[in-house]
Amino acid sequence: MSVFWAICRQHMVLAWRGGHTTLAVAFLFIGVTLMPFGLGPELALLQALAPGLLWVVLIMALLTSLDRLFQADYEDGSLDQMMLMPLPLELVVLGKLLGHYMALVLPLLLAVPLAGLLLNLAPAHLPMLLLAMLAGSPALVLLGGIGASLAVSVRRGGLLTVLLSLPFYVPVMIFGAGASQQALAGEIDETRLAILALLSLASLLAAPVAIAAALRNAVR
C-alpha cells in the first residue's frame, strides 16, 4: 500500500514542480475572465450562464493537463519500471490518477468559488455547483486517462488525447451542467448527482483496467 501512495506522491510532486497545477488554475481564471468581455457585462445573463461556463472551463483546463499523465513516463522509461513495480499495473495507474486528481482537480475546485464570483454567482449557489463537480470530476480524470494512455506512444499526442477523451466527457458534462443549473433555482438535483456519482464509480472500475491494457501495449 505504501507503494501506491509513493506513486501518488511522486505524480503530485512532479505536477507541482512542472508548473502544471499553476497552469491549469491560471487557464481556469483566464477563461472565466474573458467571458464577460465576450458575452457583455449584463449581470443576470452572466449568472444564468455561469454554471455551464464554469463546467466548460473546468473541462478545458483539465484537458490541457491530460497529455502529462503518461507521456513523460513513456518518454523517460518510467513506464517500463511501472510494469515491474511490486504492485499490479492497474493499481499503479490508479495511484497516478489519484495523484493527478489531487494535484490538478482539487486546486481547480478550490478556485471555482472565486471564479464563480467573477461571473456573478452568489455564495448560496456554490454548494450545489461544487457538489456536482465533486461527484463528476473523478470520472473526468479517469476517462481522460483512457484517452491519454491510448495516445501515449504518439509523439506530441496532446491533440489526439483530447479528441479521444472528448466523447467520454459529453455525458459527464451534460449531467454536471444540468445539476449545476438547478443550483440557480436553489434546488438540489439528487437524480443528476446520483448519475454523476454513478459515472465516476463506473469509470473507477473500468478505467484502470483499460488504461493498464493500453500501457502494456505501448511498451512493446
Interface residues with another protein (CB under 8 A)? Answer: 2-3, 5-7, 9-10, 13-14, 17-18, 73, 75-78, 80-81, 83-86, 88-89, 219-220
Closer Cβ to another protein, 18 or 107, answer by number: 18
Closer Cβ to another protein, 17 or 156, answer by number: 17
Per the listing, cell 511490486 goes with: 86
| Residue 198: Cβ within 10 Å count | 13
Closer Cβ to another protein, 43 or 83, answer by number: 83
Minimum CB separation from another protein for residue 39, in Å? Answer: 39
Letter string b/e over residues 151-176, b meaning 16 or more CB atoms within 10 A of that residue's CB: bbbeeebbebbbebbeebbeebbebb
Minimum CB separation from another protein for residue 66, in Å? Answer: 19
Closer Cβ to another protein, 39 or 219, answer by number: 219
Q: How far apart are CA 207 and CA 213, in angstroms?
A: 10
The three grid cell numbers given for residue 148, joined into one nine-digit string? 491519454
Minimum CB separation from another protein for residue 154, in Å? Answer: 17
Cβ atoms of residues 89 and 83 within 8 Å:
yes
Minimum CB separation from another protein for residue 13, in Å? Answer: 7
